[in-house]
Chains A and B, each alone.
Chain A
Amino acid sequence: MIAEALIVSAILFVIGVVGVLTRRNAIILFMCAELMLNAVNLTFVAMAKMHGVTGHVFVIMVMTIAAAEAAVGLAIVISVFRQFGTVDMSALRTLRG
């Protein structure tokens, strides 16, 4: 049972990573990051069955932080859009020397 849960979580995580690496749209990057967080959450929950309640506590924690992060992240995306007129990350290259 745990093995299946871990496999699903790994698949979810890799989908998230590949999304972050290949896509350029900020919103999609965001969603992929959420996907990775939830993959980790799934691992925690699965492990909690063996190692006690600590895993559940971590999941609550991650969800809280993710919510806060989403709020801040979306605010940044909106202000990026206002500034550059786009949310394509590859267009944001003003740091380039």
Chain B
Amino acid sequence: MMHLAIPALWQATAAAHAAHPLDGSIAVTLVRLLPLLPVLGFVINGVLALLARQRANAAGSAESSTARNALVKLVGPGVIIAAFAMALVIFFQMQGVAAEALHAPLLVPGPAWMVVGDLVIDWSLQLDQLSILMVLVITGIGSLIHLFSVGYMQDDPGYARYFAYLNLFVAFMLVLVLGASYPVMFLGWEGVGLCSYLLIGFWFSDRANVEAGKKAFVVNRVGDFGFLIAMFLIWGATRKLDFVGAHAALGSMAGTSVVLAIALFLFLGAAGKSAQIPLYIWLPDAMAGPTPVSALIHAATMVTAGVYLVARASTVFSGAPEASLLVAMIGAATALFAATIAMRQWDIKKVLAYSTVSQLGYMFIGVGTGAYTAGVFHLVTHAFFKALLFLGAGSVIHALHAAYHRTHRHEDAQDLRNMGGLRRYMPATAAAMTLATLAIAGIPPLAGFFSKDEILTSVFARAQGSPLASASLFGVPGSAVLYFVYGIGLITALLTAVYMTRMLLLTFFGENRTGEAEQQALHEAPAIMTAPILVLALLTLIGGWLNLPALLPLGPIGLLEQWLEPVTGASATRLGGDGVVSHDTELVLIGVAIAIAVVGMGIAFALYRKPIADKAHAEPETGFAGVLANAYSVDAGVDAVVVRPMNALADSVLTRGVDVGVDRAFSFGGGLLSRTAGLISSRLQDGDVGKYAWMVAAGAVAMLAALTLG
């Protein structure tokens, strides 16, 4: 019965979209192969990692086999580069088809995953403009970071294990963006969470790293709970879980409380994965992992999955303007909050981590105000320059680590106070990092300027008049909320320019504070590490051309806007209306944005060019600076409010109540039961023949009675 039903369903979906121009083309096969390639890499590298461990155990040391490492070097980045090539082929195929013909996504049917009653979940994949964009970012940036890792992880005994995890991550990420239904997306969602956990705790012999991985996993569970509830609600409301079907049904239910609830729960999931208030606390700790991991997972791809989710479910969010306003508000709050913390961090990776949280907030401002293109645009450009910043930081840490290793000093290789003047030793990294800093600060014509400006301009345009401005959040009119969000966006832009310039100055300019002996050992990273950095620098330079504003005659206008139009265009219009401001206003807005960036950098120049002490001689920070350096003590607060009461509850109720109770019931209870049974039966059978006789007689009488009376 079931087996008959499933193919029939398939055919139904296939028939409904038979008209798609890419049906039967090579793109269908390539989409199927895309996630499988990194899985292949995972299997090969995983086997090699297991072999290496066995060999190390046998030899009693962690010696690494060069022959095996060579294979890892080939396979690890190789599968991702191959996937990138395939993604390019698919992209050009899509380019070759008329834009109107691509209005519906290409559905690639897959075998059934689970069939329960009328709930049929299959492994269908979906290719549209949004997913191919994400695939290109994931595999493209992924390739560069894999190449960087070849150099960065060179001397690590867990070389093969590292690439196995990283390949697996890319596989799950591709499942996340290519899945044609919420459950398949959720599978990738959970998978990338798993890989994130494994890679944060990659150096698991250090307890702090393991704790950080665990924290990331647990905090993400809170978000996953939201995602799951949203899926249940979608199923309950529409009896469908695939994007096409469910969104069509939900689109016609726009404005109902069900859609609002779905949007809010989806956003809870997005906030967990994309580190938004209040679930951002895991991301700064996630910096415990290797730096390329921070670049790929915790800056460029995985943490943007929440933004992707909101853009993917744009039909849901545009059907619930209140939820969209909340998304924008939370994004703005997160952007400002994280930016203030980043002002006073000394760990170079912590600065970048809080900066990532802040920029993710920007993306949510974009997708929350219905400016889906702007949000996704910032996602892409941020992937370029933040991956660059992290890889640059990785190369700095690599150099300092090697220097301290040579002189046998145990200093912090990630602390800004131990850096300074590094541009003399690593000019290529310094140049690329400077470019990325200018980009994130919003200096034209770098990628970050265009994307950030587009978000701010869209918010302003929608505040002036749009369906979103007519909605209200907790009784506050939407336009007020939007103006407020715009203001916070500007303040955040100022802070971003300040703290990024501070990081740049402390790292690369001024006097070197690493140490006399160490200065001899400081050097530029090998070519395999600098090459990806330079490619990313190029992308940072030209990334803005993806989506130029109409105002500036620099090239083709709004390419990304047109590209994403079939996916998010309708939803964007539903929330934002026409969403245009006059050219004069736009000029003013751009002027303000540039002025703020320049002012911010000026403030940083004024404040952070004076010499400071290295970490060993630094004075503890006091007052508000100390509060910021402590990240507002949020971790301690969460510990006191959530973790410790939870632990106390678990200890008193679950451990001492339920757990010990069950233990007692079974151990003591079981013992008592068998002892009692033994006692009774030994009384019955004590060798007193007279008693046996009585029992036989009683039994006979009972049987007679049963036979005659029954």
Chain A CB within 8 A of B693 CB: yes
Residues of B within 8 A of A67 (CB): none
Chain B CB within 8 A of A89 CB: yes
Chain A CB within 8 A of B697 CB: yes
Q: Which of B657-710 contact A (CB under 8 A)?
A: 682, 685-690, 693-694, 697
Tell me whether A93 and B693 are in contact (CB under 8 A).
Answer: no
Tell me whether B690 and A94 are in contact (CB under 8 A).
Answer: no
Tell me whether B690 and A95 are in contact (CB under 8 A).
Answer: no
Residues of A within 8 A of B693 (CB): 20-21
Q: Which of A50-93 contact B (CB under 8 A)?
A: 89-90, 92-93
Residues of A within 8 A of B694 (CB): 21
Q: How far is the CB of A4 from chain B (nearest CB, A)?
A: 22
- 10 CB contacts below 8 A, A to B, read A17-B697, A89-B688, A89-B689, A89-B690, A92-B689, A93-B686, A94-B687, A95-B687, A96-B686, A97-B682
Residue in chain A with minimal CB distance to B683 = A97
Q: How far is the CB of A66 from chain B (nearest CB, A)?
A: 18
Residues of A within 8 A of B689 (CB): 89, 92
| Interface set of B (CB-CB < 8 Å, partner A) | 682, 685-690, 693-694, 697
Interchain CA distance A23-B393 in the complex, whole Å: 101
Sorted from nearest, which 6 A-B pairs have the closest CB atoms?
Answer: A95-B687, A97-B682, A96-B686, A93-B687, A20-B693, A89-B689
Chain B CB within 8 A of A24 CB: yes
Interchain CA distance A94-B689 in the complex, whole Å: 12
Residues of B within 8 A of A20 (CB): 693
Q: How far is the CB of A95 from chain B (nearest CB, A)?
A: 3
Residue in chain B with minimal CB distance to A18 = B697
Tell me whether B687 and A96 are in contact (CB under 8 A).
Answer: yes
Interchain CA distance A20-B688 in the complex, whole Å: 13
Q: How far is the CB of A15 from chain B (nearest CB, A)?
A: 14
Residues of B within 8 A of A92 (CB): 687, 689
Q: How far is the CB of A40 from chain B (nearest CB, A)?
A: 14
Residue in chain B with minimal CB distance to A92 = B687
Q: How far is the CB of A34 from chain B (nearest CB, A)?
A: 15
Interchain CA distance A17-B698 in the complex, whole Å: 11
Interchain CA distance A85-B177 in the complex, whole Å: 94
Additional A-B contacts beyond A21-B690, A96-B688 (14; CB < 8 A): A17-B697, A21-B693, A21-B697, A89-B688, A89-B689, A89-B690, A90-B688, A93-B687, A93-B688, A95-B686, A95-B687, A96-B682, A96-B687, A97-B682
Q: How far is the CB of A97 from chain B (nearest CB, A)?
A: 4
Residues of B within 8 A of A89 (CB): 688-690
Residues of A within 8 A of B697 (CB): 17, 21
Q: How far is the CB of B700 from chain A (nearest CB, A)?
A: 9
Interchain CA distance A97-B686 in the complex, whole Å: 7
Interchain CA distance A90-B689 in the complex, whole Å: 8
Q: How far is the CB of B708 from chain A (nearest CB, A)?
A: 15
Q: How far is the CB of B197 from chain A (nearest CB, A)?
A: 57
Interchain CA distance A8-B71 in the complex, whole Å: 103
Residues of A within 8 A of B685 (CB): 95
Q: How far is the CB of B679 from chain A (nearest CB, A)?
A: 9
Interchain CA distance A82-B554 in the complex, whole Å: 123
Residues of A within 8 A of B682 (CB): 96-97
Q: How far is the CB of A90 from chain B (nearest CB, A)?
A: 6
Tell me whether B687 and A90 are in contact (CB under 8 A).
Answer: no
Residues of A within 8 A of B688 (CB): 89-90, 93, 96
Residues of A within 8 A of B690 (CB): 21, 24, 89-90
Interchain CA distance A97-B681 in the complex, whole Å: 10
Interchain CA distance A89-B689 in the complex, whole Å: 7
Q: How far is the CB of A37 from chain B (nearest CB, A)?
A: 15
Residues of B within 8 A of A95 (CB): 685-687
Residue in chain A with minimal CB distance to B678 = A97
Residues of B within 8 A of A21 (CB): 690, 693-694, 697
Residue in chain A with minimal CB distance to B686 = A96
Interchain CA distance A55-B687 in the complex, whole Å: 36
Interchain CA distance A93-B682 in the complex, whole Å: 12
Q: How far is the CB of B698 from chain A (nearest CB, A)?
A: 10
Interchain CA distance A42-B687 in the complex, whole Å: 33
Q: How far is the CB of A16 from chain B (nearest CB, A)?
A: 11
Q: How far is the CB of B677 from chain A (nearest CB, A)?
A: 13
Interchain CA distance A21-B697 in the complex, whole Å: 8
Residue among B682, B686, B693, B697 with the highest chain A CB neighbour number at 10 A: B693
Interchain CA distance A96-B685 in the complex, whole Å: 7
Residue among A17, A21, A90 with the highest chain B CB neighbour number at 10 A: A21
Residues of B within 8 A of A96 (CB): 682, 686-688
Interchain CA distance A93-B686 in the complex, whole Å: 7
Interchain CA distance A17-B701 in the complex, whole Å: 12
Residue in chain A with minimal CB distance to B681 = A97
0/1 per residue, A1-44, Cβ < 8 Å to B? Answer: 00000000000000001001100100000000000000000000
Q: How far is the CB of A22 from chain B (nearest CB, A)?
A: 8
Q: How far is the CB of A57 from chain B (nearest CB, A)?
A: 26
Residues of B within 8 A of A94 (CB): 687
Interchain CA distance A1-B534 in the complex, whole Å: 124
Q: How far is the CB of A76 from chain B (nearest CB, A)?
A: 12
Q: How far is the CB of B435 from chain A (nearest CB, A)?
A: 90
